[in-house]
Amino acid sequence: MIIFGTRGYLYQLAILTLVCGRCGNPAAHALRKRVTKFTLFFVPLFPLSTKYTTQCTFCGAEQKVTEEQAEQLRGFGGAVGGRADTPQQQP
């Protein structure tokens, strides 16, 4: 029997202060990277998809951004306290 599937990982890249497009408030936004990896026998082997988003901490609105925009924002804002690229498993 072969056991395979996918597993999602969430990386928080930075916390930025931006004006929200939904609520219009200048608030902290979390810049996040979601990676879905193919697993074989519960071992992650290679990424299937990578998506970048920002989420407003005031209203909770989430907006997709491109990889280029994410790199620009990351260079603009800086890293989170602690390690910036520590993965968090998605439930």
pLDDT in tens, 26-40: 999 999 999 999 999
- Percent pLDDT > 90 in the chain is 73
Q: What is the pTM of this model?
A: 0.76
- Token pair for residue 81? 């306290």
Torsion-angle region of 72 (φ positive above 0: left; ψ -120 to 50: alpha; else: beta): alpha
User: Distance of CA 69 to CAs 1, 35, 65, 88, 91, Å?
Assistant: 43, 17, 6, 22, 27
Query: Could you list the pLDDT tens digit for every one of the 91 residues in the chain?
Result: 889 999 999 999 999 999 998 999 999 999 999 999 999 999 999 999 999 999 999 999 999 999 999 999 888 765 444 344 445 555 5
Q: Are 64 and 83 in contact (CB under 8 A)?
A: no
Tell me which DSSP letter residue 84 carries. T
Spatial separation of the C-alpha atoms in residues 91 and 79, rounded to whole Å: 24
